[in-house]
Amino acid sequence: MSEAKSRSSAFIEARDRATDYLVRRHYLRWTEALPWLVAVACFFLFPNRMTFGSQVLIMIMFALSLDLILGYAGIVTLGHAAFFGIGAYTVALASLRLGWSEPISGLAAAGVIAACVGVVVGWFILRYRGLTLLMLTIAFAAMLQESGNLRSDLTGGYDGLPGLMFDPLLGTFQYDLYGHTNFWYALAALAVVFYFVRRLVYSPFGQTLTGIRENVRRMHAIGSPVHLRLVTVYAISAGIAGVAGALFTQTNAYVTLTVFDFDSSAKVMVMLILGGTGRLYGPFLGAAVYMVLEDYFSKMSPTFWQFGIGILLVLTVLFARRGLLGLAEDIGGMRWGGRAADAAPRRLVWKPEHWKALGASAFDGGVLGFLVGFAVNMGHAELMTAYVTGLPAQVAVFTLGGAAIGAGINAFYLLLTSRSAVEGQAS
Amino acid sequence: MPQFANIAVSILFDGLAYAMFLFITAVGLSVTMGLMGFVNLAHGAFAMAGGFIVVSLTRSYGIDFIPSLIIASVTIGLVSVRFEKRLYRRLYKSTDLEQVLLTIGLAFMAIAAFTYFYGPIPKSVPLPHWLEGDVNLGFRRFPTYRAFLIGLGTVLIAILWFVFEKTNIGAKIRAAVDNRRMAESVGINVDRLFTLTFAVGSGLAALGGGLAIQLFGLTPSFAVLYLVLFLIVVAVGGLGSLKGTLLAALVIGIIDTGGKYAFPVAGNLFIYAITALVLLIKPTGFYGRE
């Protein structure tokens, strides 16, 4: 009897904690002011880099739109640049062909048009998943780009539409050379969009999306109109991407068909993944870090930067699947939660399979070194169009070096993951 | 011969050669995706790497074109096994998104590395004499290289068909594509099967990359430029289906060649339109399973 009672009170307590969480989770926390303070601080710290600053804000908005469908609803797309491009061309063409140069109403129009296209496209393609969906999104963006090129008399093709003019903001603020007006304009637009997205993801509608992402069959079973929900969020996301695209055109006064590039879709996804998906501030961190790194490294060497993106992606997938924000949380958790374990001495229990792992790493390192050695030699030979001597020696050095590095990394990894004495006995 | 028929034959011939290239390069992707559901966007990078090995072997080391092709595809096939064991294996049970990101990351790294070593300018290879010029096929003359491509493609299709339909390994692969769990429960080692098909598929991709040099010229960005095309062939044909991949390669190859001849400004619009149409009507592709 008493056991049953205590169980039920524990149940009530647990339920209260659960409901508490649901009631409180959308409350504003003080940390949420940080990104905005940083943005304002950047304005005063780097007043000469504000053209770049507004580009960062635009990419944050674009990544935020992707987060809504990818992070919350689980729709994998490699063609989101389609809607960014639609928004970008809406304001460009409206200004150039219709003489509609008022910026804020232009943003709204771009958002509405992109959202309408999103409804139609989403209605057709969101019935599919996996590779089919991926291919359909790629095909849609590519078709828009090719049709744009077909009507290059209208769109300017890959040469673009330069020298677009827009009316002063709110009829009073002129655009300046340093992009100060543009920065505040982009920041204000981002704040409005962010407020909307935040409301959305904490609403019951946002909760349905997470449900669909986690278990679509169960959502069907409890009677949720899955397709309708997905199309709705797809359209909203398309609209936001359209607004970001329109801002892009307005702040650059220039647009080309490259906005529809596959690279552009892939880039925004990388930003989002880097920051962390399915969280509101992932796009902020991801886009800012990516843009700053790109600005720095691609000036140094575009090739080097491309290699950097590749490594960033591989490392993120292998070691930080929840992005930089997730990584920060993990490190924070380690510091506060892992103290007792850290205090205990580490002990590595050597097992036969460790030899095997070490050997495999050395082998892979060797293979990689062998290939790099060959590539270096071939590359030299190719550039000088002559056979470079010393091939065997060079390849041998690279192979042995690679093997040593591979084994070294493996040994380091073993030490790193070796359990502390206390934990080791427990497991 | 009347003008129209002449043009039609040319388009058919070029389209066929193009289709053979698409088939050889994409078939490995189709089978590995069908087996493991693994989205391998680095497939184009394997093809590109194979192409550059051929370039170096022929131009810098003076090896003939055909032996270079064989060396390149065997090397890439062996190297891909290590990639599979090291990196891909960890992600079999992950989401599509993580697989896409890892493999596209690898593709970016490959492009950057090859650009560093070879530069961004398109490369060509010296062909043996018997592959240059035209060949007379009775009623008219055709470029020898494309005829060679069609012949090689036909032979490879015959071999693959034989392996797939008539041998024990082929039966195992088909069983695993149809129902992986069932195949495992009757004692087929699907992991090992996958490693094998992955190696063969990557080797074929390298072969396709080597063959493509003469058709398009080889640059490091080949890895991503043609990747979308391979994915289209795979998706339109149906995952894991040899027949489907061949049919899709033929449809895409011939229609693209014809479309570019008739409306050069439209670019790849035809390909994407066909893809969207086929996938909207039959989302699993021509011969894919529900």
User: Are residues A160 and A89 in contact, defined by beta-carbon separation less than 8 angstroms?
Assistant: no
Pick from A128, A307, A387: which is nearest to B60 by CB?
A387
Interchain CB contact of A316 with B (< 8 Å): yes
User: Are residues A270 and A313 in contact, defined by beta-carbon separation less than 8 angstroms?
Assistant: yes
- Whether pLDDT at A426 is above 50: no
> Percentage of chain A with pLDDT > 70?
84
ipTM: 0.82
User: Are residues A87 and A245 in contact, defined by beta-carbon separation less than 8 angstroms?
Assistant: yes
Question: What pLDDT, in 10s, does the model give residues A49-87?
Answer: 888 999 999 999 999 999 999 989 888 888 999 999 999
pLDDT on residue B168: 92
Contacts of A378 in chain B (CB under 8 A): 52-53, 56, 60, 117
* A173 HSE (CA, 13 A, CB side): 14
Could you tell me the pLDDT band of residue A7, with boundaries at 50, 70 and 90? Answer: low
Could you tell me the pLDDT band of residue A5, with boundaries at 50, 70 and 90? Answer: low
Q: How far apart are CA A110 and CA B146, in angstroms?
A: 48
Residue ranges, chain B, pLDDT below 70: 1, 138, 290
List phi, psi (to 5°) of A420.
-70, 160
Contacts of B235 in chain A (CB under 8 A): 131-132, 135
| Gap from A333 CA to chain B (nearest CA, Å) | 24
Q: What is the DSSP letter of A159?
A: G
Question: What pLDDT, in 10s, does the model give residues A270-290?
Answer: 899 888 888 889 999 999 999
Angle at B78 between CA B110 and CA B31, to 5 degrees: 85
User: Which candidate in B40, B68, B109, B228 is best for mutational testing of the A interface (most A CBs within 10 A)?
Assistant: B109
User: Which candidate in B61, B84, B97 is best for mutational testing of the A interface (most A CBs within 10 A)?
Assistant: B97
Could you tell me the pLDDT band of residue A164, with boundaries at 50, 70 and 90? Answer: confident
> Percentage of chain A with pLDDT > 90?
26
Of A233, A219, A251, nearest in space to A103 by CA: A251
Spell out the alpha helix ranges (H) of chain B: 3-36, 43-60, 65-86, 96-118, 144-166, 168-178, 180-185, 190-216, 222-225, 227-237, 242-262, 269-281
Domain boundaries defined on chain B:
9-128+141-226
Could you tell me the pLDDT band of residue A386, with boundaries at 50, 70 and 90? Answer: very low
Q: How far apart are CA B161 and CA B157, in angstroms?
A: 6
Could you tell me the pLDDT band of residue A1, with boundaries at 50, 70 and 90? Answer: very low
User: Which residues of B, range 103-132, sit inside 8 Å of A by Cβ?
Assistant: 104-119
Tell if the pTM clears 0.95, that is, is over it. Answer: no
Query: b or e along A71-100 (b: 16 or more beta carbons within 10 Å of the residue's beta carbon)?
Result: bbbbbbbbbbbbbbbbbbbbbbbbbbeeeb
Which domains, ranges and CATH numbers included, belong to chain A?
A: 32-328 (1.10.3470), 342-426 (no CATH)
Q: How far apart are CA B128 and CA B3, in angstroms?
A: 32
The 3-state DSSP class for residue A130 equals helix
User: Are residues A213 and A84 in contact, defined by beta-carbon separation less than 8 angstroms?
Assistant: no
How many C-beta atoms surround the C-beta of residue A406 within 10 A? 22
Q: What is the mean pLDDT of chain B?
A: 87
Q: At A35, which helix (H) or strand (E)?
A: helix A34-45
Q: How far apart are CA A219 and CA A217, in angstroms?
A: 5
User: Which chain B residue has the Cα nearest residue A129?
Assistant: B283
Pick from B97, B100, B112: which is nearest to A307 by CB?
B112
Across A18-22, A80-84, A300-304, B275-279, the highest mean pLDDT is recorded for A80-84
The 3-state DSSP class for residue B143 equals strand
- Whether pLDDT at A390 is above 70: no
